[in-house]
Amino acid sequence: MVVRYGNELPGVDIFVCTADSVIEPPMMVINTVLSVMAYDNPPEKLSVYLSDDAGSQLTFYALLEASQFAKYWIPFCKKFNVEPRSPVAYLDSISISDDSKQPKELATIKILIDGKDPNAKDSEGCVLPTLVYVAREKRPQYFHNFKAGAMNALIRVSSAISNGQIVLNVDCDMYSNNSLAVRDALCFFMDEKKGHEIAYVQFPQNFDNITKNELYSSSLRVISQVEFHGLDGYGGPLYVGTGCFHRRDTLCGRKFSREIHNEFKIDIPKDREREETIAVLEEKSKVLASCTYENNTAWGKEMGLKYGCPVEDVITGLSIQCRGWKSVYYNPERKAFLGVAPTTLAQILVQHKRWSEGDFQILLSKYSPAWFANGKISLGLQLGYCCYCLWATNCLAVLYYSIVPSLYLLRGIPLFPELSSPWFLPFAYVVISKYMYSLAEYLWSGGTVLGWWNDQRIWLYKRTSSYLLGFIDTIAKSLGLHSDSAFVITAKVSKQEVYRRYVNEIMEFGDSSAMFTALATIALINLVCLIGLMKKAILNEGIPIIYETMLLQFVLCAILVLINWPLYQGLFSRKDNGKMPKEIMEFGASSSSAMLSLWANTALLNFTLPAWSGAVEDGLNHGFNEPI
């Protein structure tokens, strides 16, 4: 491609975003920067921008040192064809320094390496990519719009310095694992037949710290290996906020037109052609990164990433596709990017709470794929978006099936068809086929049987905690009872003790999270119901009756108890710091006891059991209907 297009290759501006120098250490950020600077692409066509919303001096000086190290690291990578090109990942020796967060008010723009400067060369005399440090202006009286605001500031600043027509954005922990990824993306954009239709090329999120059996189901295996490939056939996947190559003009609001084909020209802004000094360029760029620049403009609405949603990436991608553009999902054999997956249960639940809440907000907003996208994108893609936007509402059905059948089981009241009923077979068929298909899909995606079991556990936990809170918060916000959602950054580092348990696949419960209270309450209700049922069945010789009349109900309750086994260990038997906090255990026990007591005193207990068997009816009914 380089031989064919030469200097006509579009420039690529790479955005790396960081917002907290404590949970996103400078060492991690700099490794990501160095990995993308070493892409196998003409360096004069690459520009790397680091957005530091923390304004950390340590991050700035780490980047300054990295700019010097790059003079030796980049030629080393290209000479020996090093993969991956993150120094830490390549050398496999992690060293994390402490950092102190020192927020700044005024914007800071520093061009550490000017790729247009003939003197900016590496140790072998080759041109280096442009490297720019950006800390936008942030003041209390101006809302900064989190990552979306940082990205929009980078779009404006980069347009004045390098103006690459292709923009790649990666999270600070997502280092490049494939130096050819940039060429792969450019192949799609420069395709002579379909390239002019493509707005962005999305690579999957992959992680380098996933355990063998994926304790927290962090890899999103089925989504990346199956679902996104399906969406690709309907016009393209969602934009997931990292590992995505964009056309700059589509991010700035351009609509698709069949009459306009690829127009990749030399990207140097006219101002740079007049050899502006770096100092002048930095001062001009500060205006673009000021907190007042967006006042009374279309930024955050019609231009750049959308504001006002916890998942600014998804709603931005949807709006781009609704303007007529298509996207591409590309999953190469060698993973393009590798990041850091959450290493505690609390982190994964908080992350999914933000995702489900943001997606549900999109469904209820004017940008809803149910009506805003109607007629603008394909029906298949519309339904695909709706599946993710309805994540939060799944909590209602899962809450019902994880609590109500068990409570009725304790009272001996069947909710599903009896074993002898002809309706038993359809129920059994749906349950068995659904989970056999799910297992086959997971194994086909490269997972393990135990990994699938862990995936089912996290599936349950997300829907009874993360999605439940996301659903409640969204409804409360829609009714004006709740303020805007906070953008919670997922920690990229963990304590050594916590990480050791993660590697050994021992679940981490050592966090006083409200979501753990919901999990503990539901788990204890099912445990009490199962034990109570078995006690009454054994004492009253009612096991055959349970098998005949409530088999599906019993199996459901037993599976819920089995899948919660690590949680019971965290509540009752573990002694390490990863056990469930005492206050969570006490609150969960109190909540479950209150619910069981309320159930015991409700009028529903006046119902009598059906006549399962005339021979044991009187004794069995007496046994099941005695007080709990």
For residue 41, give the nearest of 70, 71, 84, 74 by alpha carbon.
74
Is 24 annotated as contributing to ligand binding?
yes
Cβ distance 167 to 294 under 8 Å? Answer: no
Tell me the whole-structure pTM to 2 decimals: 0.87
Give yes or no: 92 in active site.
Answer: no
Is 147 annotated as contributing to ligand binding?
yes
- Catalytic: which of 313, 455, 473, 511? 313
Give yes or no: 313 in active site.
Answer: yes
Cβ distance 501 to 578 under 8 Å? Answer: yes
Q: What is the pLDDT of residue 106?
A: 57
Query: What DSSP state is assigned to residue 603?
Result: G
* Residue extents of the structural domains in the chain: 2-175+241-299, 399-456+486-624
Cβ neighbours of residue 332 under 8 Å, at least 6 residues apart? 178, 181, 184, 203
Q: How many CA atoms lie within 13 A of 511 on its CB side?
A: 17
Q: What is d(CA 163, CA 159) in angstroms, rounded to the nearest whole number?
A: 4
Q: What is the dihedral of CA 296, 171, 324, 13, to 10 degrees?
A: 80
Is 71 annotated as contributing to ligand binding?
no
Q: Is the pLDDT of residue 96 over 70?
A: no
Is 441 annotated as contributing to ligand binding?
no
Q: Is the pLDDT of residue 231 over 70?
A: yes
Q: What does the pLDDT average to over 617-625? A: 42
Q: What is d(CA 547, CA 551) in angstroms, rounded to the nearest whole number?
A: 5
Across-strand partners of 245? 168, 201
Please tell me the CATH code under which domain 2-175+241-299 is placed.
3.90.550
91-100, 357-366, 607-616: which has the highest mean pLDDT? 357-366
Cβ distance 381 to 321 under 8 Å? Answer: yes
272 or 390, greater pLDDT: 390
φ/ψ (deg, to 5) at 182: -65, -35
Residues 122-161 pLDDT 10s: 777 788 899 999 999 888 888 888 899 999 999 999 999 9
Q: Compute the radius of gyration of the chain from its Cα atoms.
A: 28
Q: What is the pLDDT of residue 102?
A: 38
Residue 622 three-state SS: helix
Confidence band (pLDDT; 50, 70, 90) for 620? Answer: very low
Confidence band (pLDDT; 50, 70, 90) for 363? Answer: very high
Q: What is d(CA 389, CA 619) in angstroms, rounded to the nearest whole number?
A: 50
What is the 3-class SS of 410-468, one letter each residue? Answer: HHCCCCCCCCCCCCHHHHHHHHHHHHHHHHHHHHHCCCCHHHHHHHHHHHHHHHHHHHH
Q: How many CA atoms lie within 13 A of 460 on its CB side?
A: 23
Q: Is the pLDDT of residue 475 over 90?
A: yes
Q: What is the pLDDT of residue 139?
A: 84
For residue 596, give the nearest of 605, 586, 609 by alpha carbon.
605
Q: What is d(CA 202, CA 220) in angstroms, rounded to the nearest whole number?
A: 15
**How many angstroms separate the most distant Cα atoms in the chain?**
100
Burial 593-615 (b: 16+ CB within 10 A, else e): eebbeebeeeeeeeeebeebeee
DSSP string, 572-583: II--STTSPPHH
φ/ψ (deg, to 5) at 338: -130, 135
For residue 297, give the nearest of 166, 132, 145, 167 by alpha carbon.
145
Residues 24-72 pLDDT 10s: 889 999 999 999 999 998 898 999 999 999 888 999 999 999 999 999 9
Q: What is the pLDDT of residue 605?
A: 45
Phi-psi region of 544 (alpha: psi -120 to 50; beta: other; left: phi over 0): alpha
Q: Is the pLDDT of residue 341 over 50?
A: yes
Residue entry with tokens 């409360």? 476
Q: What is d(CA 530, CA 26) in angstroms, rounded to the nearest whole number?
A: 50
Cβ distance 628 to 532 under 8 Å? Answer: yes
For residue 356, give the nearest of 485, 518, 244 by alpha carbon.
485
Q: What is the pLDDT of residue 357?
A: 95
Q: Is the pLDDT of residue 277 over 80?
A: no
> Which uninterrupted H or E stretch holds 246?
strand 244-247
Work out the mean pLDDT of the chain and round it to a whole number.
Answer: 86
- Catalytic: which of 53, 114, 122, 267? 53
CA distances from 553 to 263, 463, 613 (A): 63, 20, 19
Residues 530-584 pLDDT 10s: 998 888 878 776 677 788 888 999 999 999 999 999 999 999 999 999 999 999 9
